[in-house]
Chains A and B, each alone.
Chain A
C-alpha cells in the first residue's frame, strides 16, 4: 500500500500529527539496536487503546503487517518492520495511570519509560525491579514483549515475575484483559505467555506491574582480579555459600578499560577482570553477606576487594556497567553482542573457550555480563567495511551459541530471539516443540501479520544468525 494513502487513513484515527509516512521520517524507524532493515510503510502514534483497536482493524482490512515499538532499544531486531506495513510507536502512550503503593502495584501505559516508573515511586521507598541496562530509554511495553532482565534480576526475577495483568489488542482488534490486579485469578496464565512473546501474539496497551520496596541497606563491592579465572570461579563459590546477591556482574579488563575511559568510575585499568557485586536487605544481613563475599573473593585470588563508600560511588560504578555498550562503541567501529546462557558453574570453561575463539578467528572479544545467572554478553569487535572480518565474527558468534547449547544453556537470556535468532531456535527446540509454539502463534496471529519474521524459524536460513551484521549493529 502506498505510504501516503495509508497515512491518510491512519490520520483519520489518530490525527494528522500522529502519522509519519515521508521517506526521511520512515528512515528513523528502519532499525533498532540490532540492525537496520526495511522501512515500515507508515509509523503511527496511538494515544489510547481505542486507537490501537482502530489501527488493528485497518491493518486487517488491508492485510498489512503490524509491528509495535517502544523505544527501539531492543537487541534482537524485535521492533523492525521486516515486511513493511504499519509500525505502532508508543511514545504517546506514556502515562502512569495509577500508582497504588498500599497494594504494591502500578498500572501503566506501554510507552512509560522503565526508569520513570521507578523514579515516580522512589520518594515513597519503592521501585520497579527489572532494570535492563537501557532502562533510561526502554519502555515497559517493550520490556513486557521481550521479558527483559537486567543486572538485578539475579535476586528479583525478570519482567514476567513482576507483571500482574495486561490489556492486549489482538490482530483483529479484539481487546482482552489477562491476569488481574492481584495474583491468583483462576484460569490459564495468559499473561505468562504474552510476556516474552516479542509482539507476535498481541499488542500490549496497558500493564499492571508489581512495585517492590527498596531495601534498607545496599552494599556494592568491586572485586579485582589479575586473572579472569579467579573471577569466574568466585561466582559459583558465592552461591555455594548460600548467598544470593542482588546483582553479580563481571567485566573483563578490555571492557573495563573502555568503560573507565568513558565514565571515569574508578575501575582499575591494569586488571584482568572485575566482579561488581551487590547485596541488599536488612543492614545486619548485608554486612554479614558483604564480609562473607569478600572472603570468598580473596580465597579465589582477588587482589583487592573495594566497597563503595557512598551512594555516589555506587552510582558511578553502575553508570560504568550500564553504559558499557556505549563505552565500547567509542573504541570500535562496530560490535556484535551475543546473549547466551550457561549454567553458572561452567563460566571458567566458557571464558577459556571465548578466549580461544579470539585466537582462532583473529578477533577482539570483550566480556561483560550477568555472571550470577550465567548470562553471557560477549562483545565481538569488527569494522563493517571489512567483509572478511564480518564472516569471522558470524562464525565466532555461532560457535559461542553452539557451546552454550552444548553446556545445557540457552540461545538467549534476555535480548530475545527476534529476527536475529529465529533460525537458531532448532538448536534448542525440536520440531515438536516448534510446531506447538507455531500452533499457539496461529491461535492469536493466524495470518502472521503481527511482527512477521520474529521468534519462530523462517525456514530460510536454518541454524544461522540473522540481521546482526547487515551494515548496522553499531554502538
Chain B
C-alpha cells in the first residue's frame, strides 16, 4: 500500500460512512487470502458504494479482493497485492421477483440458503449445489461459476444468469442482459463475468432463471466394484432415457468418508451415485431401469435414504474435509467423458506411489473429477503429484486446476495450468475492464 492505512481508512469512511470501514485486525485477519490480510475491510450498503470504492482503489492503485461470504477464497493464485477486502455481504435486497415468470433479481450478497428459502415458498429453486453450500453468496457463486454435482441435470451458473449489474473500476454501474429468459440484445457480458473470479468488475446484482422443484427425489447407489464396470454403467446410463440430476462415481475412501467411517478395507471400489427427480411413478420407473442396467454388468443397486447430507458434503468438499484433514488439497479436473475412468485409474496409481491418501468424486456425466488428497505423509509431494496428473489430463484432452490447497503449494505449482492461444485476448480483456489491475491482481489464469 503506497498510501498510509489511516488516510485510506478515512477516505473510504467518507465514501461509505464510518461503520462500513474497518482496519482493526479482528475484522481484517479473518479476511486473509492465502495468508495475506487486507489493511482495510469495507462493507458497502449499496451498489453505488461498491462502485465508489472501486474508483477510489483504481485512482490510488490499491488492490481490492471482492468477496461474498469468503467460501471460495482459497481458489486462485496468490494475490500479488491485497489492500482492501470488499465485502458484498450487506447487499442482500431482493430487487424484483415474480414467481410465475420463473425469474428473480437479487443483490449479490444474498446467500444461497436465504435465496432457496425465499423461492422455495413458491416451490421453486435454483438447481445449484456449489462449493460453499448454503453459506455462499449468489455473487460469489457467479464470479466463480461454481457448480456441484447438480451440473449434470441443470448446467451451471453460466446457464442460469440472465442479467447482471456490475460495478466497474471507473466507478460506474454497468448492466448486461436483462430480466427476461430470452434475450440477445448486445454482447453477453454476463458470460464473461461468470467465472472471472472478481478480476474484471464486481457483480452487484444478478437476474436468474428459476426452476420448479421436482415433486420427489431419490438417490440410488450402484456398486460397480471396478472402474471397468463403472465405465459400462456410465455409458449405459447416459444412453438410457434417464435424465439424472446428479451422477457421481466414488472410490472406496470417498464412500467411507460419506458414512463417517475411517477405514474402508471391505468396501467395494467404484460406487456410482445417481439422483433422479420426478413423480412417484417416474421414480419407480427409473428404479426399474437402473436395476436392469446394474444387473446387466453384475452391479448391485440400493436406494440411499437421507442422501441430502451426503450430497451437501460432495458439493462442498474442502469445507467438509478440512476440519478432519487440515492440509486437504482438492484438484478439479475437466475431461472428455470417455477419459474419466482412465484418468481415475491413473490418479489412484499415482497416489499410491506417492503414498497419498486419496478420495475421488467424479461427475462422470459431465466429465468433472474432484480428487482430494487428504494428507501428506512425510516425504510425499502433492505438488509433483498434481503436476503429473495435470500432464495426464492434458494427454487425455482435459485440464486440471488446484481448487483448494495451502498457500505454500501455490508457490510451487501454478493452480490454473495450461494456457491457450486466447490468453493474449484474455489479457487485453482484463485491461479493458481494469486498466490499473487493482481487482484481485494475480489470482486468475496466468497471473491476470
User: Interface on A for B, CB 8 Å cutoff?
Assistant: 100, 102-104, 125, 146-147, 149, 153, 157-158, 160-161, 175-178, 180-193, 195-197, 201, 213, 215-216, 236, 239-240, 242-244, 281-282, 284-285, 288, 341-345, 370, 373-375, 408-417, 421, 425, 428-430, 432-434, 436-437, 439-441, 443-444, 455
Give chain A residues whose Cβ lies under 8 Å from the Cβ of B189.
193, 436-437, 440
Instruction: Tell me, in angstroms, the Cα distance from A192 to B183 when the chains sit together.
Output: 14
Q: Digitize B398-437: 1 where CB-to-A-CB distance is under 8 Å, 0 elsewhere.
A: 1101000000000000001101111111101100100000
CB distance from B293 to the nearest CB of A (A): 14
Known A182-B335, A183-B368, A244-B212; judge A236-B175 contact (CB<8 A): no
Give chain B residues whose Cβ lies under 8 Å from the Cβ of A433.
174-176, 186
CB distance from A167 to the nearest CB of B (A): 10
CB distance from A464 to the nearest CB of B (A): 16
B401 and A177 within 8 A (CB): no
Instruction: Tell me, in angstroms, the Cα distance from A130 to B279 when the chains sit together.
Output: 28
Report which of A184, A242, A434 forms a contact with B123, defined as CB distance below 8 A. Answer: A242
B186 and A425 within 8 A (CB): yes
Q: Is B159 an interface residue, CB under 8 A from the partner?
A: yes
B194 and A189 within 8 A (CB): yes
Give chain A residues whose Cβ lies under 8 Å from the Cβ of B213.
242
Q: Is B188 an interface residue, CB under 8 A from the partner?
A: yes
Give chain A residues whose Cβ lies under 8 Å from the Cβ of B285.
282, 284
Q: Is B239 an interface residue, CB under 8 A from the partner?
A: yes
Could you say which of B98, B186, B337, B432 has the most chain A C-beta atoms within 10 Å of its C-beta?
B186
- Find the B residue at minimum CB distance from A344: B101
Instruction: Tell me, in angstroms, the Cα distance from A104 to B397 when the chains sit together.
Output: 15
B239 and A410 within 8 A (CB): no
B101 and A341 within 8 A (CB): no
- Find the A residue at minimum CB distance from B196: A188
Give chain A residues whose Cβ lies under 8 Å from the Cβ of B200.
188
Q: Which 9 A-B pairs have the closest CB atoms?
A: A192-B191, A242-B212, A216-B241, A184-B334, A410-B183, A413-B182, A343-B101, A373-B182, A176-B422
B215 and A242 within 8 A (CB): yes
Q: Is B242 an interface residue, CB under 8 A from the partner?
A: yes
User: Interface on B for A, CB 8 Å cutoff?
Assistant: 96, 98-103, 123, 145, 151, 155-156, 158-159, 168, 172-176, 178-192, 194-196, 200, 211-213, 215, 235, 238-239, 241-243, 278-279, 281-282, 285-286, 332, 334-338, 366-368, 397-399, 401, 416-417, 419-426, 428-429, 432, 444-445
CB distance from B218 to the nearest CB of A (A): 14
A409 and B282 within 8 A (CB): no
Give chain A residues whose Cβ lies under 8 Å from the Cβ of B187.
193, 196-197, 201, 437, 440-441, 455
- Find the A residue at minimum CB distance from B401: A186
CB distance from B426 to the nearest CB of A (A): 5
Give chain B residues whose Cβ lies under 8 Å from the Cβ of A411.
185
Give chain A residues whose Cβ lies under 8 Å from the Cβ of B424.
176
Give chain B residues whose Cβ lies under 8 Å from the Cβ of A196.
184, 187-188
Give chain A residues whose Cβ lies under 8 Å from the Cβ of B420.
176-178, 185, 187
Report which of B156, B334, B425 forms a contact with A180, defined as CB distance below 8 A. Answer: B334
Question: Can you list 25 A-B contacts (CB < 8 A)?
Answer: A125-B239, A180-B334, A182-B337, A186-B399, A187-B420, A187-B422, A190-B425, A192-B190, A193-B188, A193-B189, A193-B191, A196-B187, A236-B101, A244-B212, A281-B243, A282-B285, A284-B279, A370-B182, A408-B179, A414-B184, A417-B185, A436-B168, A436-B189, A437-B187, A440-B429
Report which of B102, B123, B182, B238 forms a contact with A158, defined as CB distance below 8 A. Answer: B182
Give chain B residues whose Cβ lies under 8 Å from the Cβ of A434.
186
B159 and A187 within 8 A (CB): no
Instruction: Tell me, in angstroms, the Cα distance from A66 to B395 when the chains sit together.
Output: 38
Instruction: Tell me, in angstroms, the Cα distance from A429 to B177 when the chains sit together.
Output: 9
Give chain B residues whose Cβ lies under 8 Å from the Cβ of A284.
278-279, 281-282, 285
Give chain B residues whose Cβ lies under 8 Å from the Cβ of A189.
145, 158, 191-192, 194-196
Instruction: Tell me, in angstroms, the Cα distance from A432 to B96 when the chains sit together.
Output: 22
Instruction: Tell me, in angstroms, the Cα distance from A244 to B277 when the chains sit together.
Output: 14
A373 and B181 within 8 A (CB): yes
Instruction: Tell me, in angstroms, the Cα distance from A282 to B281 when the chains sit together.
Output: 11
Report which of B151, B367, B444 forms a contact with A182, defined as CB distance below 8 A. Answer: B367
A437 and B186 within 8 A (CB): yes
Report which of B182, B279, B338 forms a contact with A374, defined as CB distance below 8 A. Answer: B182
- Find the B residue at minimum CB distance from A432: B172
Give chain A residues whose Cβ lies under 8 Å from the Cβ of B145.
184, 189
Report which of A146, A176, A181, A415 forms a contact with B421, defined as CB distance below 8 A. Answer: A176
CB distance from B211 to the nearest CB of A (A): 7
Give chain A residues whose Cβ lies under 8 Å from the Cβ of B278.
282, 284-285
B186 and A186 within 8 A (CB): no
Known A149-B182, A455-B186; judge A181-B366 contact (CB<8 A): no
Give chain A residues whose Cβ lies under 8 Å from the Cβ of B191.
160, 189, 191-193, 195
A236 and B100 within 8 A (CB): yes
A190 and B282 within 8 A (CB): no
Instruction: Tell me, in angstroms, the Cα distance from A100 to B187 when the chains sit together.
Output: 30
